[in-house]
Amino acid sequence: MALTGIQIFKLLPKTNCKECGVPTCLAFAMNLASGKAELDSCPYVSEEAREKLAEASAPPILPVAIGKGVRKSVVGGETVLYRHEKTFFNKTAFAAIINSDIADAALETKLKEWNALQFERVGLNLRPELVALKDVNGDKAAFAKAAKTIAETSEFNLILITDNADVMKAGIEVCKFKNPLMYAATAANVDEYGAIAKENDLPLAVKADSVEALPALTDKLVGMGLKKLVLDPGSREIKQGLEDQVAMRRAALKNGNRSLGFPTIAFPCEMASSLDIETMIAGMFVAKYGSIVVLSDFTGESIFPLLLERLNIFTDPQRPMTVTEGIYPINNPDENSPIMVTTNFALTYFIVSGEMEGSKVPSWLLIKDAEGLSVLTAWAAGKFSGDDVGMFVKKCGIMDKVKTKELIIPGYAAAIAGDVEEELPGWTITVGPREAAHIPAFLKSKV
C-alpha cells in the first residue's frame, strides 16, 4: 500500500530547511504522496527512510516497457483517474492478432500492409505498435518461425500468446531481443511462466477469471521478483470489460492497491464479430483505461480514428501543443517572397504550412508565440494583438532576409491590421484568407 502524506512526513528530517523547493517537510510529504515531487529532491532522507519512502514515491501504477526500437511502448505509469486532473502519460498501445499457422506469403503481405498504416499529424507519426502472435495449434516450430519473421522483418513489437510453455520458449528464443510481452500467466501456470519471464527479463501478462482473482497471482509474481506485469481480468463482455478496467484503475489510484498497480490489456477482438464494432469498443478502452488494446486486424479506417482519439486523450490538457516561435522558410523563399504570420498552435502551424507547401509558392511563414492558442482565440485573449505582431516582425530577423514589405495576416485577425501598420511604418498589411484551404490560391495570386 502507498504511504499517506502524514506517514511520509514522520520519516522526513522535519527541519523545514526548504532545500527541496517547498517551505516545509510537511508540504514536501504531501507532494510526494500525490506524485508531484521526487524523493531525490530532499538530500537529507536517511537510508532507512529512503527504503520505506521508495514505495510511496513509486507511481501507483507501474510503467512497463514493451518492445524495442521506434515502436517501443511504455504503458501504465498513470497517476490520475481523469485526464483533466493532470494528464495521462503513457498512451494505449494497439495490437492486432496474427495466428501462428499463417502462411509465409500471407504474413509478409500483412506486415507490409500494417506497416503502411502511418499517419502524420501535428508533426507526429501516428502508428500502431504491436503484433499479437497467437498460438493456434501448439506447433512450436510454426510459432517460432512467425515470431522470427515479425521480429526481424518489421518494426512491430510482439505479444506472444500461448498457454503452452514449450511454444512460449520457442517464440522467446527467436524474438527475445525485441522484449516481447508474454501472454499469459494464469493460476494453472503462474510458477512456470513467472520463472520464464524472470529468466528472460521479459514483461508478463497475468490473466485471471476476475479482478478479484488477480492479486493472488500478481502478489506471487512480485514475490518472485517480477515487476513488469500487465493485467487481464479475463472479461470478454463489453460492460464487464469496462467495469473491470475502471475497478482496477480506481483500486490502484484511490485505494493504493499495489497488487493491481500495473497496466492492463483488453481484447476487443474477443468481444465483437466485426472490426467496426471492435473499433468502437477499442475507442472505449482508449478512454478508460486499457493500456494495451488487441484488435483482430488493422485497416486504415479502423486504426486511424483510434490513433487520433489516442492523440487527443494522451496530450496534456493544460498545455496546448505548440511549435517554436520563429521564421519558417517554405519552398525555398528568397528576398522577394511573400510573408505570412500566424500563431504557434501546432495544429494551426501544420495546417497553414501544409497549405503553403502545397501551393508550391516560395514563401516565409512567421510563427509568433501566442501560448499555443489558435488565431481567433489568441486575438480574443490579447495574445495576438497588432502591437505584439508588429513588434515580433521587427525583432524576429525577417527584415534582414527580405526586401518585401508586405505582411499577410490571418483573415481571422483582420481587426489587428491597423495596429500592425502603425507598428510597421512603410509596410503594407494584407488580410489573408480565413480558411487555410484558400491559402494556395491566395499565394498564387501574389506571384
- The residue within the footprint of ligand SF4, chosen from 8, 20, 98, 102 (CB under 6 A), is 20
Give me the residue label for grid cell 510453455.
165
**Count of residues engaged in binding ligand SF4, rule: CB under 6 A:** 12
Q: Nearer to ligand SF4 by C-beta: 37 or 132?
A: 37
Q: What's the CA gap between 98 and 113, in Å, rounded?
A: 13
* 324 in a known ligand binding site: no
Of the CA atoms within 13 Å of residue 201, those in its CB half-sphere come to: 3
* 175 in a known ligand binding site: no
Q: What's the CA gap between 266 and 230, in Å, rounded?
A: 10
Strands annotated E in 112-168: 119-121, 124-126, 130-134, 157-161
Give me the residue label for grid cell 529512503.
50
Minimal distance in Å, beta carbon 12 to ligand SF4? 5
* 374 in a known ligand binding site: yes
Minimal distance in Å, beta carbon 46 to ligand SF4? 11
Cell of 11: 520519516
Q: What's the CA gap between 84 and 271, in Å, rounded?
A: 29
Stretch touching ligand SF4 by CB under 6 A, among 8-16, 89-97, 139-147, 220-228: 8-16
Q: What's the CA gap between 124 and 318, in Å, rounded?
A: 19
Cell of 16: 523545514
* 20 in a known ligand binding site: yes
Minimal distance in Å, beta carbon 94 to ligand SF4? 42
Residue 25 binds to ligand SF4 (criterion: CB under 6 A): yes
Say what the alpha-carbon torsion angle 417, 422, 427, 432 is, to the nearest 10 degrees. Answer: -10
Stretch touching ligand SF4 by CB under 6 A, among 17-25, 106-114, 116-124, 128-136: 17-25
Cell of 153: 522483418
Residue 12 binds to ligand SF4 (criterion: CB under 6 A): yes
Stretch touching ligand SF4 by CB under 6 A, among 11-19, 104-112, 254-262, 319-327: 11-19
Residue 17 binds to ligand SF4 (criterion: CB under 6 A): yes
* 396 in a known ligand binding site: no
* 295 in a known ligand binding site: no
* 17 in a known ligand binding site: yes
Minimal distance in Å, beta carbon 14 to ligand SF4? 7
In contact, 8 and 33? CB cutoff 8 Å: yes
Q: Measured on CA atoms in the order 431, 436, 438, 440, is the torsion positive or negative?
A: positive
Minimal distance in Å, beta carbon 45 to ligand SF4? 7
Judged by CB under 6 A, the chain residues 187 through 226 that form the site for ligand SF4 are none
Q: What's the CA gap between 250 and 232, in Å, rounded?
A: 15
Name the strands in the sheet holding 229-232, side by side, starting at the edge strand that comes first in the sequence: 229-232, 204-207, 181-185, 157-161, 130-134, 93-99, 292-295, 265-266
In contact, 373 and 346? CB cutoff 8 Å: no
Residue 13 binds to ligand SF4 (criterion: CB under 6 A): yes
Helix (H, G, I), strand (E, B) or coil at 122: coil
* 25 in a known ligand binding site: yes
* 158 in a known ligand binding site: no
Judged by CB under 6 A, the chain residues 28 through 67 that form the site for ligand SF4 are 28, 42, 44
Q: Which residues are annotated as a binding site for 5-methoxybenzimidazolylcob(I)amide?
A: 342, 348, 372-375, 436
Contact positions vs ligand SF4 (CB under 6 A)? 12-13, 15-20, 25, 28, 42, 44
Q: Which residues are annotated as a binding site for [4Fe-4S] cluster?
A: 17, 20, 25, 42
